[in-house]
């Protein structure tokens, strides 16, 4: 059966299309967006995919991705309103809210950390320092405690690694320092300025292959995570200031919709395909190491992108403790689910 289009219906279609195009042009004229990520590793791949595959552009956003240099610096950029949306440990928006810069988590990235991997100097491992307990008992040649490096003090690596060490009663047996981006972190371990580096699977793989690092403790392992953490927890999140939402909710919806679509794209593609898409953003480590990391991320990514009460409650023992200095917050005071709910409705998984 052929559909008959009358002159009136044709004019209606044309008029509707014209209005849609006009609205799209008006949105396209909006100011560009600034998206902030800490360092060049695949844990932040949802932002990279949204940019490289074109989801930001399809949402009407002309985005510029900016590397903050660490999670803490990313938080500072968002706090100063120099960035629209950031990605990093969920404690960052909590810290902002605690310090008078009301912030909101817009959507979670993962269900457990993929960056709580303790990488020890190969020469120390060969000397028999093969456990965290052995590390805590060891002293540097000058008598100082072992030096443990994270990207930034108060960042994701530090928050989760220190929780493991606290639980084991070892947190005061080491000295924590922040060493910045991927290149500098790897360099400090390679040159023996630090004894342990805590970071991602890609950095572990590169350090092992180059012969100057090896695995000491894997805090990302599902069995280890379940033993110490108890189950699903939103570790990394996309976040913004509440004032950014108040100023331009349409723009924030566009960000979240693009990131939701990027997450679903990641779910449907192989680690090799993901790496090929995000390669310009993760060039500090090798192709093989990044593909390995992308594979790990596929296992821990939160494809529902919804924080539930149980997972939030589970994370409180890690977030709200003396080390972080974060005063307890109710889930409703830090998590805004309205944007991800709208995105899921517009683009069902």
Residue-by-residue DSSP string for 143-169: SPPPEEEESSTTSHHHHHHHHHHHHTT
- What are the pLDDT digits (tens) for 41-54? 899 999 999 999 99
Give residue-wise pLDDT tens across range 74-83: 999 999 999 9
Candidates 278, 280, 257, 251; CA nearest to 266 is 278
pTM: 0.84
User: Would you state the pLDDT for residue 30?
Assistant: 56
Question: What is residue 62's three-state secondary structure?
Answer: coil
Please state whether beta strands 147-150 and 175-178 pair in parallel, antiparallel, or not at all (unpaired): parallel
Which pLDDT does position 165 carry in this prediction? 97
Report which of 185, 161, 188, 201 is spatially closest to residue 300, judged by C-alpha positions: 201
Average pLDDT in the 17-24 region? Answer: 39
Dist. CA 117–CA 210, nearest whole Å: 17
The candidate with the shortest Cα–Cα distance to 200, out of 126, 274, 282, is: 282
Nearest to 158 by CA among 235, 62, 66: 235
pLDDT digits (tens, 9 = 90+) for 161-184: 999 999 999 999 999 999 877 788
pLDDT in tens, 226-264: 999 999 999 999 999 999 999 999 999 999 999 999 999
Q: Phi-psi region for residue 81, left (φ > 0), alpha (ψ -120 to 50) or beta?
A: left
What rounded mean pLDDT belongs to the chain? 90
Residues 6+ apart with CB under 8 A from 21: none
Contact (Cβ atoms closer than 8 angstroms) between residue 232 and residue 83: no
Residue 131 clears pLDDT 60, i.e. is over it: yes
Residues 6+ apart with CB under 8 A from 218: 116, 117, 118, 224
Tens digits of residue pLDDT in 260-287: 999 999 999 999 999 999 999 997 788 9
């Amino acid at each position: 059966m052929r559909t008959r289009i009358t002159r009136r219906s044709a004019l209606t279609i044309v008029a509707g299309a014209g209005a849609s195009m006009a609205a799209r042009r008006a949105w396209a004229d909006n100011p560009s967006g600034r998206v902030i990520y800490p360092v060049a590793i695949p844990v932040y791949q949802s932002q990279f995919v949204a940019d490289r595959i074109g989801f930001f552009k399809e949402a009407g956003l002309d985005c510029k991705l900016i590397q903050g240099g660490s999670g803490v610096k990313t938080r500072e950029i968002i706090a100063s309103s120099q960035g629209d949306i950031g990605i990093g440990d969920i404690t960052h928006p909590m810290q902002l809210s605690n310090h008078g810069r009301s912030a909101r988590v817009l959507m979670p990235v993962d269900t457990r950390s993929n960056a709580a991997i303790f990488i020890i100097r190969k020469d120390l491992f060969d000397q028999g320092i093969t456990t965290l307990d052995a590390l805590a008992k060891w002293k540097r040649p000058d008598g100082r405690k072992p030096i443990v490096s994270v990207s930034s003090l108060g960042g994701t690596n530090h928050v989760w690694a220190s929780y493991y060490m606290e639980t084991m009663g070892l947190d005061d047996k080491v000295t924590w320092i922040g060493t910045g981006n991927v290149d500098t972190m790897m360099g400090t371990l390679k040159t023996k300025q630090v004894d342990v580096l805590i970071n991602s699977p890609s950095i572990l793989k590169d350090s092992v292959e180059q012969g100057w690092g090896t695995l000491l403790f894997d805090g990302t392992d599902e069995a280890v995570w379940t033993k110490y953490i108890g189950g699903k927890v939103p570790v990394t999140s996309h976040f913004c200031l509440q004032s950014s939402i108040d100023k331009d909710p349409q723009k924030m919806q566009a960000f979240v919709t693009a990131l939701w679509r990027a997450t679903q794209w990641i779910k449907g593609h192989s680690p090799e395909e993901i790496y090929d898409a995000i390669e310009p953003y993760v060039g500090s480590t090798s192709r093989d190491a990044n593909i390995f990391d992308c594979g790990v991320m596929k296992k821990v990514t939160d494809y529902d992108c919804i924080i539930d009460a149980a997972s939030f409650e589970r994370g409180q023992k890690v977030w709200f403790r003396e080390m972080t200095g974060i005063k307890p917050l109710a889930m409703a005071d830090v998590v805004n689910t309205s944007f991800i709910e709208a995105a899921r409705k517009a683009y069902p998984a």
